[in-house]
Amino acid sequence: MRTFTEEQNMFRDTYRKFLEAEIVPNMEKWQEQGIVDREAFTKAGDQGFLMIWPDEQYGGMGDTDFRFEQIIIEETARVGCASWLNTLHSRLVGSYIQHFGNDEQKQRFLPGCITGEKILAIAMTEPDAGSDLAGMRTTLCEDEDHFILNGSKTYISNGINADYVVVAGKSDPENNPHAMTLCIVERGMEGFERGRNLDKMGMKAQDTAELFFSNVKIPKENILGEPGNGFFYLMQGLAEERLIAAVGSIASARRAFNLTREFVMERKVFGKPLSYMQNTQFKMAEMDAEIEILEVFIDHLVAEHNEERLTPNMAAKAKLQSTEIEWKMLDLGVQLHGGAGYMKEYPICNMFTDARINRILAGSSEIMKLIISREIFSENYSSNLD
């Protein structure tokens, strides 16, 4: 059962209007240029749609209820603007500053991010370390009164637009390969360079870039949390990141379902609507059932998350299932559209290429299965029938 308050329903309406006025009309232009204009962030910030959770002293609304973020993600999917990554900035990266930053860092970094004048990114992945983060080669080692950052990162979302990048590096590579530290790299720091805006299959309005760090001097004031605990912090952040991915993918699956439903009711084949064919009816019935069951599970996880009971295992199950079902729905959607499904003028076409990444990023489907299977075969395993 969905539990949105009146305030949240009003928030949904105003965010929907914002998207329709400021984001939807620009999407085609941003897709062509491969990057969202920075004004998208300041306009969202002006209306209070970025980072609603920080305390009022930093300029936020102090409302940590994840339902607000769920609304933002669902509405963005509803209008087909998946590559406007409000949530990456607002919740996914912003949370690292909130959870692991000290008061001085929150004062310094959060206000600009809330107004949208500063844009955030997070850089974990490297050319030789994606799923296996422990294999990263970037180093962030203490040196007198500062740290030195060396290495490179790739596939970084908001990589070109970002003013602050949360970067992970190994802090004691010789003696403790698992010791990782997180820092905030700021635009303009000496030795920080950006590479290409990468040319992708989908998510065309998203700037995804390589980042290079050569002897970047990081003041201690830019280190997040305790040096050496970075891996643990990343693992903590990933459970929420996977819930975010699950909310987005199931909303996108539902949108694809709705678009396909409308299409098959209009399209005539052999003298009657495509929706009269039993193949169409059975396949759509299967998808409606699969999507709805997952919508309920994900709503349940949002409530669990609000109570701080979201576990990595639950988040992995939601991410695995929602991205796989989204993909199944989009493949069926394109199939039932016929040739039209391959044409860009039909939204299902764009959705298909945008969604392909969802089974890979934020932990691939295979990695989600690893996480789930670890618990199945652990001593602590218990099922709902025990």
Ligand X SMILES: Cc1cc2nc3c(=O)[nH]c(=O)nc-3n(C[C@H](O)[C@H](O)[C@H](O)COP(=O)(O)OP(=O)(O)OC[C@H]3O[C@@H](n4cnc5c(N)ncnc54)[C@H](O)[C@@H]3O)c2cc1C
Active-site residues, by number, are 241
Which residue from 105, 109, 125, 129 is spatially nearest to 117, judged by alpha carbons? Answer: 109
Q: Which is nearer to ligand X, 280 or 321 (CB)?
A: 321
Among 370, 373, 374, 381, binds ligand X (CB under 6 A): 370
Among 179, 360, 372, 375, binds ligand X (CB under 6 A): 360
Q: Does 361 engage in binding with ligand X (CB under 6 A)?
A: yes
Q: Which is nearer to ligand X, 5 or 131 (CB)?
A: 131
Among 8, 47, 115, 125, binds ligand X (CB under 6 A): 125
CA distance 363 to 312: 11
Site residues for ligand X, 201-260, by CB under 6 A, read 203, 208
Q: Which residues contact 75 (CB under 8 A, 6 or more apart)?
A: 12, 15, 16, 19
Q: Does 157 engage in binding with ligand X (CB under 6 A)?
A: yes
Parallel/antiparallel/unpaired status of strands 180-186 and 164-170: antiparallel
Query: Tokens 């950006």, residue?
Result: 194
Q: Within 13 Å of residue 346, how many CA atoms lie on the same side as its CB?
A: 20
Among 40, 287, 294, 357, binds ligand X (CB under 6 A): 357
Q: Which residues contact 86 (CB under 8 A, 6 or more apart)?
A: 44, 49, 50, 72, 76
Q: Does 35 engage in binding with ligand X (CB under 6 A)?
A: no
**Least CB distance to ligand X at residue 218 (A):** 18
- Is residue 73 helix, strand or coil? helix
- The conformation of residue 90, written as its DSSP 8-state character, comes to I
**Least CB distance to ligand X at residue 158 (A):** 7
CA distance 103 to 117: 20
Q: Does 169 engage in binding with ligand X (CB under 6 A)?
A: no
Which window, 30-38, 67-75, 125-133, 315-323, contacts ligand X (CB under 6 A)?
A: 125-133
Q: For ligand X, which residue has the nearest CB?
A: 130
Q: Within 13 Å of residue 165, how many CA atoms lie on the same side as its CB?
A: 33
Q: Can you count the helices (H) and strands (E) in the chain?
A: 12, 10
Q: Does 155 engage in binding with ligand X (CB under 6 A)?
A: yes
Which window, 42-50, 98-106, 124-132, 237-245, contacts ligand X (CB under 6 A)?
A: 124-132
- Is residue 199 helix, strand or coil? coil
**Least CB distance to ligand X at residue 55 (A):** 26
- Report yes or no: 62 and 55 within 8 Å, Cβ to Cβ: yes
Query: Tokens 């310094």, residue?
Result: 108
Token reading at 52: 């609603």
Q: Which is nearer to ligand X, 209 or 247 (CB)?
A: 209
**Least CB distance to ligand X at residue 155 (A):** 4
Q: Which is nearer to ligand X, 157 or 275 (CB)?
A: 157
**Least CB distance to ligand X at residue 366 (A):** 3
Number of residues in contact with ligand X, rule: CB under 6 A? Answer: 20
Interacting residues toward ligand X by CB under 6 A:
121-125, 130-131, 155-157, 200, 203, 208, 357, 360-361, 364, 366-367, 370
